[in-house]
Amino acid sequence: MTASATARRTVRVELADRSYDILIGPGLIAAAGREIASRLKGRKIAVITDENVAPIYLDNFLAALKVEGIDAVSLVLPAGEKTKSFEHLISVCDSVLAARIERNDAVVALGGGVIGDLTGFAAGIARRGSRFIQVPTSLLAQVDSSVGGKTGINSPHGKNLIGVFHQPDLVLADTDVLDTLSPREFRAGYAEVAKYGLIDKPDFFAWLEQNWQAVFAGGDARIEAIATSCQAKADVVAADERENGQRALLNLGHTFGHALEAATQYDSARLVHGEGVSIGMVLAHQFSTRMNLCSPDDGKRVEKHLREVGLPTSMDEIPGGLPPAEVLMDAIAQDKKVKGGKLTFILTRGVGQSFVADDVPQSEVVAFLKEKLPK
């Protein structure tokens, strides 16, 4: 117990009157009732979760709320990226309204990034904005999607194309729950952890190269890696909440990654988000090398580390085949990072030296993809 309390870390996201805390550490599901009750005026909650997380954590979470006199209704949705759809958005809105969640009550996302993005969107539009609490249960959600207020669903036209900015009021990242996450999903989340190093923290990337096994094993190194990642994201979000500038750096690897996710129809059997990001980050370094920005050694170093932890690092590793370069290019052009027809890309001058380039020639990208696609 004392150990738990000691290990717990708090990262604050500074956004004026919408500032909030991210609590990171063991035992936070059991402590959720207390943490929520001390911050919430209302006493009613709607919990949205998925069919994988519910059997393991929902009862404990509801019990923790009940002890503090908080009433909760819950909705269990199918797991997986396809749940980020209008169909499920409608059911979440319906549960929230049926439960008569009012302005001082809250909507809670208990799950990975899929549940967080979908539930946050529903909270952002139910009564034109309801209170929202993130209880991220995947590594990816703890280090990335639960922080920063981007919420949304996918469209047939592309990923995350429909949504709102809606900041949570609190994030509770219970690091114990990562022990039930599949190794594949843990690795996928780890891609986002590595991303913060690659953006602008070369020392953190070097630390990960040394300590990744301890991060995977759990304990203090894991908490340290999650807290460092949350702090990195919190800093970027505080500086540029609505992605008018530097927040775009967080998309390192994502322009390629999203196109690969679209090309595999968001089928998580073939590719999950973090895997797309892993391949995308390697491609971003290689493309930067092609543009004479980045030494090939840096690209190799990134590829080596990601492969070492077990992540895919090239398009060849995606089962089931990919469409031609032109089709991938089309998916890239439909991605959000497009202004007036010009391509905005996150490129890099080396490990920890990423930057936003907003004039990348489309023809170069197509030529590069043709070279890299499996023959």
Ligand X SMILES: NC(=O)c1ccc[n+]([C@@H]2O[C@H](COP(=O)([O-])OP(=O)(O)OC[C@H]3O[C@@H](n4cnc5c(N)ncnc54)[C@H](O)[C@@H]3O)[C@@H](O)[C@H]2O)c1
- Catalytic residue numbers, as ranges: 128, 150, 192, 233, 243, 247, 251, 254, 258, 273
- The size of the chain, in residues, is 375
Packing angle, helices 296-309 and 202-217, rounded to 10? 10
Q: Smallest Cα–Cα separation from 70: which of 94, 35, 20, 98?
A: 35
Per rule CB under 6 A, is residue 141 in the interface with ligand X?
yes
Per rule CB under 6 A, is residue 113 in the interface with ligand X?
yes
Partner from a copy of itself, ligand X, none binding residue 273, C-beta < 5-8 Å depending on class: ligand X
Say which residues have a Cβ less than 8 Å from residue 320's Cβ, sequence separation at least 6. 264, 270
Q: Which is nearer to a copy of itself, 82 or 290 (CB)?
A: 82
Q: What is the C-alpha end-to-end distance of the chain, expressed in Å?
A: 56
Q: Which of residues 21-50 bind a copy of itself (CB under 8 A)?
A: 41-42
Q: Which of residues 231-290 bind a copy of itself (CB under 8 A)?
A: 242
Would you state the structure tokens that stand for residue 91, as one six-digit string? 């059911």
Q: Which is nearer to ligand X, 126 or 177 (CB)?
A: 177
CA 126/CA 309 separation, integer angstroms: 41
137 known ligand binder: yes
Q: Smallest Cα–Cα separation from 272: which of 203, 190, 166?
A: 190
Say which residues have a Cβ less than 8 Å from residue 142's Cβ, sequence separation at least 6. 24, 136, 173, 175, 178, 189, 226, 230
Do the beta carbons of residue 283 and residue 302 sit within 8 Å? no
254 known ligand binder: yes
Per rule CB under 6 A, is residue 148 in the interface with ligand X?
yes
CA 105/CA 63 separation, integer angstroms: 17
Chosen residue from 56, 67, 98, 367 binding a copy of itself by CB under 8 A? 98
Q: Which is nearer to ligand X, 150 or 222 (CB)?
A: 150
Chosen residue from 210, 339, 359, 375 binding a copy of itself by CB under 8 A? 339
Q: Which is nearer to a copy of itself, 42 or 323 (CB)?
A: 42
Chosen residue from 18, 34, 157, 184 binding a copy of itself by CB under 8 A? 157
Partner from a copy of itself, ligand X, none binding residue 339, C-beta < 5-8 Å depending on class: a copy of itself
Instruction: Write each residue from 53 to 72 as x if it is in contact with ligand X (CB under 6 A), else as -, in one continuous string.
Output: x--x----------------
Per rule CB under 6 A, is residue 79 in the interface with ligand X?
yes
R_g of the chain computed on alpha carbons:
20
CA 267/CA 186 separation, integer angstroms: 18
CA 262/CA 332 separation, integer angstroms: 9
CA 232/CA 249 separation, integer angstroms: 11
Per rule CB under 8 A, is residue 219 in the interface with a copy of itself?
no
Chosen residue from 46, 140, 249, 282 binding ligand X by CB under 6 A? 140
Do the beta carbons of residue 23 and residue 172 sit within 8 Å? yes
Partner from a copy of itself, ligand X, none binding residue 375, C-beta < 5-8 Å depending on class: none
Q: Which residues are annotated as a binding site for Zn(2+)?
A: 192, 254, 273
Catalog residues that contact a copy of itself under the rule CB under 8 A.
Answer: 41-42, 86, 89-90, 93-94, 97-98, 100, 102-104, 121, 124-129, 150, 152, 155-158, 161-165, 242, 334, 336, 338-341
